[in-house]
Amino acid sequence: MNEFITLLQSVKHFPISEPEKRVLYNIINNTHRDSNNKIKRLKNFLGFNSNKMDGNFSTASVETKSLIEKGMIHSINTAMDPNPRVVTNQKPTNEKCGLTSIGLIHIFNDKYTYSPDFLLKYSDDIFLQEVLFNLFQTNTIKAATAKFFNIITDYLTTTANYVINLSLEMDKPLNEDIKNEIEHKIKTFSLILGFKIAILFNENNIISSSSLEANNDKVILAIHQIETLMKKDLSKDSKFLNLLSAVSNEFSSGYDDFTSFKSR
What lies within 8 Å, CB to CB, of 208 at 6+ separation is none
Taking each helix axis as running N to C, give the angle between helix 146-169 and helix 217-235, from 0 to 180 degrees, rounded to the nearest 10: 60
Task: For residue range 205-237, list pLDDT tens digits in order.
Answer: 655 655 555 566 676 677 778 888 999 999 999
Give the model's pLDDT for residue 120: 96
- Could you list the residue range(s) of the whole structural domain that residue 249 is in? 2-262
Q: How many domains does the chain fold into?
A: 1
Task: For residue range 139-174, list pLDDT tens digits in order.
Answer: 999 999 989 999 999 999 999 999 998 877 766 667
Q: Report d(CA 236, CA 246) in Å as an integer.
A: 17
Q: Report d(CA 110, CA 105) in Å as an integer.
A: 9
> What ranges in 110-237 are assigned the alpha helix state H?
116-121, 126-131, 138-142, 146-169, 176-200, 203-213, 217-235
What lies within 8 Å, CB to CB, of 177 at 6+ separation is none
To the nearest whole number, what is the mean pLDDT of the chain? 80
Report which secondary-structure segment, H or E, holds 60: none
| pTM > 0.75 | yes
Percent of the chain residues past pLDDT 70, beyond the cut: 73
Cβ atoms of 123 and 129 within 8 Å: the answer is: yes
Per-residue b/e over 112-129, b at no fewer than 16 CB within 10 Å?
Answer: bebebebbbbbeebbbbe
Give the model's pLDDT for residue 39: 47
Q: Quick one: CA dihedral 159, 165, 167, 169, positive or negative? A: negative
Region 164-189: mean pLDDT is 83
Task: For residue range 20-58, list pLDDT tens digits in order.
Answer: 999 999 999 875 444 445 445 555 666 655 444 343 334
